[in-house]
Amino acid sequence: MRRDKQESQAQFNRRAILLAGVGGAAFTALGARLYSLQILEQERFRLRAVANQFNFRIDLASRGNLFDRFGEGIAINRDGYRLQILPEQAGDPRTALDRLAAYMPLSEARIERLLDKIRTTPRHRPVLIAEDVDWETFSRVNLHLPELPGILPDLGEIRTYPHGPLAAHVTGYVQTPPPSNDDAPDEVRNLRRQPGYKIGRVGMEAALEDRLQGTAGRTTVEVNSSNRILRELPEEAVPPIPGEDIRLTIDVRAQRAALLALDGQSASAVTIDLATGEIMSLVSSPSFDPNPFVLGIGQEAFNALNTSQFRPMFNKATTGIYAPASTIKAVVALAALEDGVTDPGERILCTGSVELGDRTFHCWERRGHGAVNLHDAIKRSCDTYFYEVARRIGIDKLGEVARRYGLGEIHDIGMSLPDSADGLIPSERWKLTTRGERWSTGDTFNAGIGQGFMLASPLQLAVMTARLATGRAIEPTLIPRDEPIEFAPMSTNPAHMALINQAQRAVVHELGGTAYWVLDAGRRLGDPGVEMAGKTGTSQVYSISAEERRQGVREQADLPWRLRNHGLFIGFAPYDNPRYAVAVVVEHGGGGSSSAARPARDILEDLIRRDPGRHRVRPVADRMEQARNGSGGSGAAEG
């Protein structure tokens, strides 16, 4: 019995020791963990506690303004009333929105869209209900605010375009950004979720986004466990940095004159200051009003713009591409002179057509021009002459000179567009690679008169004109350059350039010139009057078949609008001291002399009369500094 008791006691002792060991180990582990939490990791948990107690509210920066060369606002901000809903204070969002609908128009579809947005937004973050609310509605909502829990009246900034359609294709517009992808940094996603946040979508608004957007600020706020704001801590606030105000090279009055000259046609015009390369006007007609896009354009209005055959939202000036037609004949003539395959006195007989194998290539003057030299060939736009000189120089030499004069490349004007046109200067290799066909003499004939595969944008044609007028490698820009630039001379014999420009003057001012009669027998520009030089062009869109001719379809006016030829005109003035160059393309306008020459003349006349290019564009900051020092006049006086 005694022995049994001793064994039981020993067993009890062993178990007690084991339990004590396990307990001791547990207490040791717990102590170690407490030491780690209290001592080793106290800073981390202190920061987490602070983070749970304090949060940040993003304060959007004021977007920078866009001005024309004389300080006229073309994309600016104005105050606008807006309404938001804070879900955590509103209770049931549906009920809150139904109450609000009693005091402002809210359709069922709009309420459903708002409810979808509320479901995907944290309850402590406000959701935008409406921007740019009229004063009557805003004051009515404020009056009944005690009945509308969770509704937050607010004052924000609205982007506005004071001149509406006048510069829409230059400025572009801003819109609410699309949702950020999951790879975007948290700060980007948070910023894009802020009510009223907008980004540039097209035009200079998009191209200059980084400079215009500014830097958002932040305000530290104390929050409770539900993330509701208890109080602000203004002493820890970081103020937002406004975006940069930027002045462009365009002149609002030149834009207006160009749009008026185009008279609502489906057309485009680009003008360049030949002293600086600054673009004075860049117009695509008809234009559109960018203001409705800021707050969200209605589907019906958008569809009307998007389906119009005149394509008002399409920037024809930089993105449209057309066969340059006879406007390129000056470049072809320079290539021929440079290559030594002709001289200014040589006469080539034009009978109205040229036979090449089983094909007939016609001159636009079916009766023929007779024997013409270089001067008359440009003045009267003789196709036969240029068939022959193009055949002599070949497509590779022609293409080389065309590219030198600005065709076939995208010009960086400060407005980067994903679909900016680089046009096309074809070559033997290009045709073989892309079409699997060998280059033919007929292809060279077509290239010699700017038809066939050749394509150019109005901007490229304006650059070509600027280089022809000055003999310098002008580079266009919409952004003022920091310092005046000296453009390199073109590698062209000045004597050849003079001959070409004399012939282009004859197009306008000599009897027989293709623009002589349509431009009022060569009337001079302004008073006392200066001469201009230019070149007409007619870009073929559709060839009337023999069958159609038998059916009575003989003239462009007999065709549907979309099948008519494009009309082109390039020009510069003053002829004896070139300062401004212009390129005009009228879609389906028929002949270049009948549709494009007069608008181009009117655009140049406005520039010559006002001469806005004599005032160099300066950065906005320089102008503000000058105003503070009391040494500057007004923008209107400069114009």
Q: What is the mean pLDDT of the chain?
A: 87
Give the span between the Cα atoms of 84 and 91, in whole angstroms.
Answer: 14
Does the domain at 56-247 match CATH 3.40.50.10210? Answer given as: no
The alpha helices in 36-80, defined as continuous H runs, are: 42-53
With bands split at pLDDT 50, 70 and 90, how would you rate the model's confidence at 549?
confident
Backbone angles phi, psi at 343, to 5 degrees: -135, 165
Specify the pLDDT at position 623: 46
Average pLDDT over residues 447-465: 97
CATH superfamily of 252-295+310-614: DD-peptidase/beta-lactamase superfamily (3.40.710.10)
| pLDDT tens-digit readout, 496-537 | 999 999 999 999 999 999 999 999 988 999 878 899 999 999
Three-state secondary structure call for residue 283: strand
User: Which residues contact residue 323 at a Cβ distance below 8 angstroms, ignoring those fewer than 6 apart?
Assistant: 450, 451, 452, 454, 455, 456, 539, 540, 566
| pLDDT tens-digit readout, 7-31 | 676 676 677 677 776 766 777 767 6
| pLDDT tens-digit readout, 38-65 | 666 565 545 444 444 445 567 788 999 9
This prediction's pTM: 0.85
What tokens were used for 179?
Answer: 């949702």
Look up residue 226 and give its amino acid.
Answer: S
Q: Within 13 Å of residue 523, how many CA atoms lie on the same side as its CB?
A: 13
| CA 396, 416, 412, 161 torsion-angle sign | positive
Burial 414-428 (b: 16+ CB within 10 A, else e): bbebeebbebbbbbb
Q: Cis link prior to 286 (omega < 30° from 0)?
A: yes
CB atoms closer than 10 angstroms to residue 301: 13
Look up residue 263 and give its amino acid.
Answer: D
Average pLDDT over residues 324-346: 97
Specify the pLDDT at position 345: 96
Average pLDDT over residues 434-443: 96
Least confidently predicted of 56-70, 273-287, 623-637: 623-637
**CB of 151 within 8 A of CB of 178?**
no
What tokens were used for 22?
Answer: 């396990």
Give the span between the Cα atoms of 330 and 379, in whole angstroms.
Answer: 10
At residue 334's C-alpha, the angle toward residues 320 and 339, to 5°, is 125
| pLDDT tens-digit readout, 566-616 | 999 999 999 999 999 999 999 999 888 999 999 999 999 999 999 999 887
What tokens were used for 345?
Answer: 């006195």
Length of the chain: 639
Would strands 370-372 and 348-350 be described as parallel, antiparallel, or unpaired? antiparallel
With bands split at pLDDT 50, 70 and 90, how would you rate the model's confidence at 235?
low
Specify the pLDDT at position 332: 98
Would strands 246-247 and 66-67 be described as parallel, antiparallel, or unpaired? parallel
Where are the extended beta strands (E) located within 490-548? 533-539
Give the span between the Cα atoms of 620 and 618, in whole angstroms.
Answer: 6
Would strands 359-362 and 566-573 be described as parallel, antiparallel, or unpaired? unpaired
**CB of 376 within 8 A of CB of 507?**
no
Least confidently predicted of 147-151, 235-239, 275-279, 539-543: 235-239
DSSP-derived secondary structure for 580-625:
EEEEEEETT-S-HHHHTHHHHHHHHHHHHHH-GGGS----HHHHHH
Give the span between the Cα atoms of 236 and 123, in whole angstroms.
Answer: 25
Q: Within 13 Å of residue 20, how many CA atoms lie on the same side as its CB?
A: 6
| pLDDT tens-digit readout, 123-181 | 777 889 998 999 999 999 999 988 898 898 988 899 999 999 999 999 999 998 887 66
Give the span between the Cα atoms of 85 and 152, in whole angstroms.
Answer: 6
Average pLDDT over residues 265-285: 97
CB atoms closer than 10 angstroms to residue 59: 14
Does residue 250 carry a pLDDT above 60?
yes
Specify the pLDDT at position 55: 55
What tokens were used for 348?
Answer: 């080539």
Average pLDDT over residues 271-277: 97
Does residue 86 carry a pLDDT above 90?
no
Three-state secondary structure call for residue 526: coil
Helix, strand, coil % in the chain, rounded to nearest 5 = 45, 20, 40
With bands split at pLDDT 50, 70 and 90, how would you rate the model's confidence at 227?
very low
Give the span between the Cα atoms of 252 and 74, in whole angstroms.
Answer: 8
Average pLDDT over residues 266-279: 97
- What letter does residue 208 receive in the DSSP assignment? T
Look up residue 512 and give its amino acid.
Answer: G
Side by side, the strands of the sheet bearing 279-285 are 279-285, 267-273, 580-586, 566-573, 533-539
With bands split at pLDDT 50, 70 and 90, how would you rate the model's confidence at 2?
low
Q: CA–CA distance from 49 to each of 38, 224, 446 (Å)? A: 14, 11, 77
Share of the chain above pLDDT 70, in %: 84
Give the span between the Cα atoms of 124 and 574, in whole angstroms.
Answer: 65
Does residue 122 carry a pLDDT above 70?
yes
Q: Cis link prior to 574 (omega < 30° from 0)?
A: yes
Give the span between the Cα atoms of 205 and 415, in whole angstroms.
Answer: 9
Q: Which residues pair with 160 in a beta bridge?
A: 76
Which residue reads 């650059």 in tokens?
463
Give the span between the Cα atoms of 344 and 327, in whole angstroms.
Answer: 19
Average pLDDT over residues 78-102: 90
Does residue 377 carry a pLDDT above 90?
yes
H or E stretch including 271? strand 267-273
With bands split at pLDDT 50, 70 and 90, how would you rate the model's confidence at 547?
confident
Residues forming CATH 3.90.1310.10 domain(s) in the chain: 56-247
- What letter does residue 278 receive in the DSSP assignment? B
Which residue reads 């937004």 in tokens?
121
Give the span between the Cα atoms of 428 and 206, in whole angstroms.
Answer: 38
Specify the pLDDT at position 48: 46
Does residue 351 carry a pLDDT above 60?
yes
Three-state secondary structure call for residue 81: strand
What tokens were used for 163?
Answer: 């001149």
Burial 444-465 (b: 16+ CB within 10 A, else e): bbbbbbbbbbbbbbbbbbbbbb
H or E stretch including 187? helix 186-192
Average pLDDT over residues 200-209: 93
Residues forming CATH 3.40.710.10 domain(s) in the chain: 252-295+310-614
Three-state secondary structure call for residue 246: strand
User: Which residues contact residue 633 at a Cβ distance below 8 angstroms, ignoring those fewer than 6 apart?
Assistant: none
